[in-house]
Structure 1
């Protein structure tokens, strides 16, 4: 069995993080992002899964704790930006419907 390089492990973790971001970006119904508990739970579940993968990689010594925390922090920041963007788009759409 071949050893997994830290670079490969980190690439795989970043791919998973990108997949979570795409989940939100691809949500066509922006209103659902704020109103659908099921969508929120899916994102939370995906984030939890990634955090467990990061934790496992850290425990194996494949990536450092700092790298793992940076990956999760960057993802949380990016998700907050996506949520804020969706919120702003939703507000603009709602204001346009009121006029």
Structure 2
């Protein structure tokens, strides 16, 4: 059995994080992000999966706890930023319609 390098494991985890970000970005033009609880659940599912993959990688000793926690922290920060951008965009659009 081949061993997995920490670099490869981290790269695969970052690819998964990027996939989750793309899921959000592809919905940016939709009001669903800021108003739809179902969409939040759709995002929560891959986030949970990624957190389990990170945890498993840490337990195997492939990546450090710090690396795994930083990856999840960075992704959460990026997703919050995307949510805030969409919220502000929708707020501006809604204000424009009220005038």
Per the shorter chain, which TM-score range?
over 0.9
Q: Which residue of 2 is the match for residue 72 of structure 1?
A: 72
What does 1:1-99 align with in structure 2 at a 5 Å threshold? 1-99=1-99
Question: CA RMSD of the aligned region, Å?
Answer: 1.0
Query: How much has 1:30 moved relative to structure 2?
Result: 3.1
What is the distance in 2 between the residues matched to 1:30 and 1:88? 13
What is the distance in 1 between the residues matched to 2:65 and 2:23? 26
Contact 2:28 2:86 in 1 (8 A): no
For structure 1, the 5+ residue unaligned runs are none
What is the distance in 2 between the residues matched to 1:47 and 1:87? 20
For structure 2, the 5+ residue unaligned runs are none
TM-score of the aligned structures, taking structure 2 as reference length: 0.95
Post-superposition Cα deviations, 1:19-77, rounded to whole Å, max 9, x if no partner, equal 10111111054310122222110111111000000000000000000000000000001
What is the distance in 2 between the residues matched to 1:90 and 1:69? 31
1:63 counterpart SS class: coil
2:31 counterpart SS class: helix
Following TM superposition, the consecutive aligned residue runs of length 4 or more in structure 1 with deviations greater than 4 angstroms are none
